[in-house]
A and B are shown apart, each in its own frame.
Chain A
Amino acid sequence: EAEVAQSPRYKITEKSQAVAFWCDPISGHATLYWYRQILGQGPELLVQFQDESVVDDSQLPKDRFSAERLKGVDSTLKIQPAELGDSAMYLCASSSRAHGRAYNEQFFGPGTRLTVL
């Protein structure tokens, strides 16, 4: 069964360092999401792509976070510089073309657990 791949699974870094996370969605999925999940809370959207275009990045802290999906396939999320409050699980999800389909299932990867020291 096809899965969403993420790497690394765990990342420990010191504050002010740069970190990057990679996501490979299920083949053929046009929509890709990055979520952040703080311990004890539900995931919150950071950015959503439709193919290579950003359709929602309203919750992305743009002074330090960036995301790209250059060829509309895999995606990278970067944080520079990392802060203590960025410690969280970063989840990637994908779905087939999203608009007009409220029942569109999202498939999640295993996540990257980031710890900032």
Chain B
Amino acid sequence: DAKTTQPNSMESNEEEPVHLPCNHSTISGTDYIHWYRQLPSQGPEYVIHGLTSNVNNRMASLAIAEDRKSSTLILHRATLRDAAVYYCILRDLNSGYALNFGKGTSLLVTP
């Protein structure tokens, strides 16, 4: 699987938007971009995924660069419950296998 690079940590104020970046310069044409997050003392949970176009769901938005070498997870209004480790993961269309987690970005949300 192609590798991703994320900042180790980020900080945000409550009720403000948060933009979590991910670089994946070696992404292939069949790699989907997935985001998972892990709240303290819990297992990871799915957030969003995309291939080429920007995506929105109830949890977040995913903005994908035109060349697909980077993407940004957007939390529109951070809450204290959004404090978690966010993982950006590439997953090949033809791969039915496990998620390749990196270290992720630890997001701190302050009131």
Q: Which residues of A contact B (CB under 8 A)?
A: 4, 31, 33, 35, 40-45, 48, 50, 55-56, 91, 93, 97-111
User: Is B111 among interface residues, defined by CB-CB distance under 8 A?
Assistant: no
A-B contact pairs, 18 of them (CB 8 A): A4-B43, A42-B85, A43-B44, A93-B43, A93-B44, A97-B96, A98-B96, A100-B96, A102-B92, A102-B94, A103-B32, A103-B49, A103-B91, A106-B44, A109-B43, A110-B42, A110-B43, A111-B43
Residue pair B43, A55 in contact (C-beta under 8 Å): no
- Give the dominant DSSP class at A's interface: loop
Residue pair B94, A100 in contact (C-beta under 8 Å): yes
Least distance between B39 CB and chain A CB atoms (Å): 10
Segment 84-103 of B: residues with Cβ below 8 Å from A: 85, 87, 91-103
Residue pair A105, B46 in contact (C-beta under 8 Å): yes
Q: Which residues of A contact B93 (CB under 8 A)?
A: 100, 102
Least distance between B49 CB and chain A CB atoms (Å): 5
User: Is B15 among interface residues, defined by CB-CB distance under 8 A?
Assistant: no
Taking a contact as CB atoms closer than 8 A, the residue among B31, B87, B97, B101 that contacts A98 in the complex is B97
Q: Which residues of A contact B94 (CB under 8 A)?
A: 100, 102
Least distance between B43 CB and chain A CB atoms (Å): 3
User: Is B56 among interface residues, defined by CB-CB distance under 8 A?
Assistant: no
A33 to B34 CA separation, bound complex (whole angstroms): 17
A93 to B97 CA separation, bound complex (whole angstroms): 12
User: Is B45 among interface residues, defined by CB-CB distance under 8 A?
Assistant: yes
A45 to B91 CA separation, bound complex (whole angstroms): 14
A48 to B85 CA separation, bound complex (whole angstroms): 24
Residue pair A45, B102 in contact (C-beta under 8 Å): no
